Amino acid sequence: MELAHTMLRVSDPEKVIEFYREAFGFELRREKEMETFTLYFLRIPGQEAEIELTYNHGEDENYEKGDGFGHIAIRIDEDQELQEVYEKAVEAGGEDYRPPAECPGDYGFVKDPEGYEVEILDSA
Protein backbone atom coordinates (compact mmCIF):
# COMPACT_ATOMS: atom_id res chain seq x y z
CA MET A 1 0.00 0.00 0.00
CA GLU A 2 1.00 3.61 -0.40
CA LEU A 3 -0.50 7.01 0.32
CA ALA A 4 -2.33 8.28 -2.79
CA HIS A 5 -3.40 11.82 -1.84
CA THR A 6 -4.74 14.23 0.74
CA MET A 7 -7.74 16.36 -0.28
CA LEU A 8 -8.25 20.01 0.63
CA ARG A 9 -11.33 22.04 -0.30
CA VAL A 10 -10.35 25.43 -1.72
CA SER A 11 -12.17 28.55 -2.88
CA ASP A 12 -9.36 29.94 -5.09
CA PRO A 13 -7.58 27.01 -6.75
CA GLU A 14 -5.34 29.15 -8.98
CA LYS A 15 -3.95 31.05 -5.99
CA VAL A 16 -3.36 27.84 -4.02
CA ILE A 17 -1.73 26.06 -6.96
CA GLU A 18 0.63 29.01 -7.47
CA PHE A 19 1.53 29.00 -3.75
CA TYR A 20 2.49 25.31 -3.68
CA ARG A 21 4.35 25.69 -7.00
CA GLU A 22 6.35 28.75 -5.91
CA ALA A 23 6.93 27.77 -2.28
CA PHE A 24 7.73 24.06 -2.60
CA GLY A 25 8.11 23.16 -6.29
CA PHE A 26 4.83 21.23 -6.64
CA GLU A 27 3.58 20.63 -10.17
CA LEU A 28 0.01 20.40 -11.38
CA ARG A 29 -0.11 16.77 -12.42
CA ARG A 30 -3.67 16.70 -13.75
CA GLU A 31 -7.09 18.22 -13.32
CA LYS A 32 -10.52 16.71 -13.66
CA GLU A 33 -13.57 18.81 -14.48
CA MET A 34 -16.87 17.48 -13.20
CA GLU A 35 -20.35 18.99 -13.39
CA THR A 36 -20.33 20.55 -9.91
CA PHE A 37 -16.65 20.53 -8.94
CA THR A 38 -13.11 20.50 -10.31
CA LEU A 39 -10.21 18.45 -8.93
CA TYR A 40 -6.58 19.58 -9.18
CA PHE A 41 -3.82 17.10 -8.33
CA LEU A 42 -0.44 18.50 -7.25
CA ARG A 43 2.74 16.63 -6.47
CA ILE A 44 6.41 17.15 -5.89
CA PRO A 45 8.30 15.88 -8.98
CA GLY A 46 9.60 12.35 -8.45
CA GLN A 47 7.02 11.52 -5.78
CA GLU A 48 3.70 9.78 -6.20
CA ALA A 49 1.68 11.08 -3.23
CA GLU A 50 -0.43 14.09 -4.19
CA ILE A 51 -2.45 16.92 -2.75
CA GLU A 52 -5.92 16.99 -4.27
CA LEU A 53 -7.48 20.44 -4.33
CA THR A 54 -11.26 20.33 -4.69
CA TYR A 55 -13.05 23.41 -5.94
CA ASN A 56 -16.84 23.18 -5.61
CA HIS A 57 -18.36 25.34 -8.38
CA GLY A 58 -20.24 28.32 -7.07
CA GLU A 59 -18.78 28.10 -3.55
CA ASP A 60 -16.35 30.98 -3.33
CA GLU A 61 -16.30 31.22 0.46
CA ASN A 62 -13.40 29.99 2.58
CA TYR A 63 -14.18 26.66 4.14
CA GLU A 64 -14.29 26.33 7.91
CA LYS A 65 -11.24 24.42 9.09
CA GLY A 66 -12.23 21.53 11.35
CA ASP A 67 -10.53 20.61 14.60
CA GLY A 68 -9.66 17.13 13.35
CA PHE A 69 -7.29 18.15 10.54
CA GLY A 70 -3.84 19.27 11.60
CA HIS A 71 -1.44 20.08 8.78
CA ILE A 72 0.49 18.99 5.71
CA ALA A 73 4.21 18.33 6.29
CA ILE A 74 6.96 18.84 3.72
CA ARG A 75 10.54 17.70 4.39
CA ILE A 76 13.15 19.85 2.68
CA ASP A 77 16.22 18.51 0.86
CA GLU A 78 19.58 18.22 2.61
CA ASP A 79 21.03 21.08 0.57
CA GLN A 80 18.27 23.52 1.60
CA GLU A 81 18.21 25.80 4.63
CA LEU A 82 15.04 25.71 6.74
CA GLN A 83 14.82 29.48 7.27
CA GLU A 84 15.31 30.18 3.55
CA VAL A 85 12.56 27.74 2.56
CA TYR A 86 10.27 29.26 5.20
CA GLU A 87 10.91 32.77 3.87
CA LYS A 88 10.33 31.60 0.29
CA ALA A 89 6.96 30.12 1.33
CA VAL A 90 5.95 33.44 2.92
CA GLU A 91 7.06 35.35 -0.19
CA ALA A 92 4.98 32.95 -2.32
CA GLY A 93 1.82 34.01 -0.50
CA GLY A 94 1.96 31.94 2.68
CA GLU A 95 1.08 33.44 6.05
CA ASP A 96 4.03 34.02 8.38
CA TYR A 97 2.58 31.78 11.08
CA ARG A 98 5.22 30.01 13.23
CA PRO A 99 8.76 30.66 11.99
CA PRO A 100 11.51 28.14 12.79
CA ALA A 101 12.91 30.38 15.55
CA GLU A 102 9.60 30.06 17.44
CA CYS A 103 9.41 26.27 17.19
CA PRO A 104 11.18 23.89 19.62
CA GLY A 105 12.82 21.81 16.91
CA ASP A 106 13.92 21.82 13.31
CA TYR A 107 10.66 22.94 11.72
CA GLY A 108 8.36 25.89 11.09
CA PHE A 109 4.76 26.44 9.98
CA VAL A 110 3.24 28.66 7.31
CA LYS A 111 -0.40 28.81 6.30
CA ASP A 112 -1.29 28.45 2.63
CA PRO A 113 -3.61 31.02 0.98
CA GLU A 114 -6.68 29.09 2.17
CA GLY A 115 -5.44 28.95 5.78
CA TYR A 116 -4.27 25.33 5.85
CA GLU A 117 -1.14 24.78 7.94
CA VAL A 118 2.00 23.52 6.22
CA GLU A 119 4.81 22.25 8.41
CA ILE A 120 8.26 22.64 6.88
CA LEU A 121 10.62 20.00 8.28
CA ASP A 122 14.40 20.18 8.18
CA SER A 123 16.07 17.26 6.43
CA ALA A 124 17.88 16.13 9.58
Show which residues are catalytic. 119
Handedness of CA 44, 73, 63, 89 (dihedral sign): negative
Which residue, among 67, 16, 70, has the nearest Cα to 38 in the 3D structure? 16
Report the DSSP pairing between strands 117-121 and 27-33. unpaired
Handedness of CA 118, 43, 13, 66 (dihedral sign): negative
